[in-house]
Amino acid sequence: MGNSNELAVGAALTGRRESRLWPARLDFMQSASGLFLALFLWVHLFAEASILLGKDAMYRVTMFFEGYYIFGDPYPIIITLFSAFIFAILIFHAVLAVRKIPVTYRQYRVYQDHRKVMRHEDTSLWWVQVYTGFALFFLASVHLYGMMSQPANIGPYASSDRVVSEWMWPLYLLLLVTSVVHAAVGSYRVGVKWGWLPARDPVLGRQRLKWLMRGFIVFFLLLGLASLATYVRIGLEHRDHYGERYVPTWLQESPPQTAIPEEAP
Amino acid sequence: MSTQMQARPADAAVTRRLKIHVLRYNPQDPASKPHLEVFEVDEAPSMTLFVALNDIRDRQDPSLQFDFVCRAGICGSCAMLINGRPGLACRTLTSGLGERITLAPLPFFELIGDLSVNTGKWMRGMSERLEAWIHSSSEVDLRRLEERMEPELAEQIYELERCIECGCCLAACGTARMRPDFVGAVGLNRIARLRLDPRDQRTDADYYELIGDDDGVFGCMSLLGCQDVCPKNLDLQTQIAYMRRKMLRAAVFPGS
């Protein structure tokens, strides 16, 4: 078609090898990277919800992700490297998704008017994806850069201090809502896009997938809000001891005791 | 005529008076500006929008432009935006709508005037672009019986062949509205139909050349407006997803 001819001419003039196969690959990689990020988000929300089981539980989860149970010592650099990997996938996903976002006023206006007069759920859901996706460019970047640059500041007190004393809770609140909605709606859309449905009948499959989408949004929002509220509570209680690290109960000797840092030096 | 006319006042107590807002615009007339004009029509039992529009044209404004041929949801001519959503006027009962009804021409297509659009021009262009006909190198001998086909396969082909090219899927498609080069569900459905047909000797690699880009199947953003408004209830969602998987396969394993 027209675009392909232009690409072929450009390729011939510049000596670039043009492959007609890229549109398929890009489309699939957008879905695959999005699904991966959604799965990561859900695991992440469970991990951070460990605070609901107590400070010791969250401490153990932190130690686990820092490799303590594998290497015998915690290595926060693992968090840095993993955050950088997630950041790379996020940028990759954003680059692919940007292909679809309205980029001119005409496109924006036409879609907006279309959405309003159609009153069609899936048409509106995509608009939700555009808005949440755009917000996530910034919200997720701030969070990921924080994790990459200060990987050792994760723990029952360190995280709570960051949420309250370092004023990260507004960002986390926005990040929670946008990422949970974007991940659930995106996963639903990947399902209908490729025909991966939880029923043989496509109508029933789509209905079920949509209910799953709604369920995931409600569940992970509640889980995330409960976790955030707990970090806020601990952060408020711990405000006067800002910077002090949590000592797990099994290391708390009879008082008086000196604080043992969460991370090994 | 007179009998019907006289019967109207007696029915007035039970029938509604519909207020039909029609988007009027004649692009041929430089003085014409798009505006909504209200027509009041007494609702009759089992009245369709097609009947109401004819009533308006017969009794109120003979200049009102809209298309129809079959009155039975077969020709696809009377597709229009009904309260903002694409649908066939002949298949839409007024009883299912409120007293205030808004009618507008299908967007996306060239406007002829008022509710009349030129879907045929676009459909022809799409057919030529997608080479939407049987491609076969074998000679057809008209004196011999056709090759046999399994009834199940014939049924599958017939199912996709039910598309009447009314244009509702494109008018309902946010992707097509933003990117007018998109072939839409009607185009992808056509390729899916030809791909099923054993008489078409093209391979997936050939089809990929036609729909394997962002104007084709990979441009579809799965908004499913097409699926939800199709007056023929075609399972477009499944057809597009199927073609997407097949075209991905053709891209990942080009030799297969």
Q: Which domains, and CATH codes, for chain B?
A: 2-117 (3.10.20.30), 130-252 (1.10.1060.10)
Look at B241 and A23 and tell me if their CB atoms are within 8 Å: no
**Residue B98 touches chain A, beta carbons under 8 Å:** no
Tokens of B214: 């962002």
Peptide bond into A256 cis (omega under 30): yes
DSSP state of B32: -
Query: Which has the closest alpha carbon to B64: B102, B37, B86, B99?
Result: B37
Chain A residue closest to B224 (CA)? Answer: A122
Q: Is the pLDDT of residue A171 over 60?
A: yes
Q: According to the model, what pLDDT value does residue A3 have?
A: 64
**Residue B247 touches chain A, beta carbons under 8 Å:** yes
pTM of the model: 0.91
Chain B residues whose CB is inside 8 A of the A204 CB are none
Distance CA A159, CA A62 (A): 11
* Closest by Cβ to A192, choosing from B213, B222, B235: B222
Catalogue all structural domains in chain A, each as residue range(s) with its CATH number: 49-247 (1.20.1300.10)
* Closest by Cβ to B172, choosing from A21, A26, A118: A118
What is the residue-level pLDDT of chain B in tens, covering all 256 positions? 344 444 455 454 568 999 999 999 999 999 999 999 999 999 999 999 999 999 999 999 999 999 999 999 999 999 999 999 999 999 999 999 999 999 999 999 999 999 999 999 999 999 999 999 999 988 888 899 888 899 999 999 999 999 999 999 999 999 999 999 999 999 999 999 999 999 999 999 999 999 999 999 999 999 999 999 999 999 999 999 999 999 999 998 877 6
Tokens of A205: 């499959």
Gyration radius of chain B's alpha carbons: 22
Residues B44-64 have pLDDT tens digits of 999 999 999 999 999 999 999
Q: Is the pLDDT of residue A2 over 80?
A: no
Query: Which has the closest alpha carbon to B219: B177, B170, B172, B179?
Result: B179
Residues A102-128 have pLDDT tens digits of 999 999 999 999 999 999 999 999 999
What percentage of chain A carries pLDDT values higher than 70? 94
Residues B109-137 have pLDDT tens digits of 999 999 999 999 999 999 999 999 999 98
Tokens of B44: 């009759």
**Residue B179 touches chain A, beta carbons under 8 Å:** yes
Q: Is the pLDDT of residue A60 over 60?
A: yes
Q: According to the model, what pLDDT value does residue A71 have?
A: 94
Chain B residues whose CB is inside 8 A of the A24 CB are 208, 212, 218, 247-248, 250-252
